Amino acid sequence: MNAPHDLCVSMRGLTLALGEGDRRRTVLQGVDLDVIQGQAFGLVGESGSGKTTVLRCLAGQYRHWQGRVQIAGQDLAGQGPRPGAWWSRPDLAHARRVQMVFQDPYASLHPRHTVGTALAEPLRVHRLVDVDDRIDQVLVQVGLPPAFRDRYPHQLSGGQRQRVAIARALVLQPGLLLLDEPTSALDVSVQAEVLNLLSDLRRRHGLTYLLVSHDLGVVAHLCDRLAVMQQGAIVETLSSDAMCAGAARHPYTRTLVASAQA
- Whether the Cβ atoms of residue 14 and residue 40 lie closer than 8 Å to each other: no
Residues 241, 244: Cα–Cα separation, whole Å? 5
pLDDT tens digit sequence for 75-91: 887 654 444 443 444 46
- The model's pLDDT over 209-250, given as tens digits with 9 standing for 90+, comes to 999 998 999 999 999 999 999 999 999 999 999 999 999 999
pTM above 0.85, yes or no: yes
Mean pLDDT estimate for the chain: 90
State whether residue 183 is helix, strand or coil. coil
Longest dimension (CA), the chain: 53
Structural domain that includes position 256: 4-261
User: Which CATH number fits the domain that encloses residue 67?
Assistant: 3.40.50.300
Q: How far apart are CA 158 and CA 108, in angstroms?
A: 11
Q: How many domains does one find in the chain?
A: 1
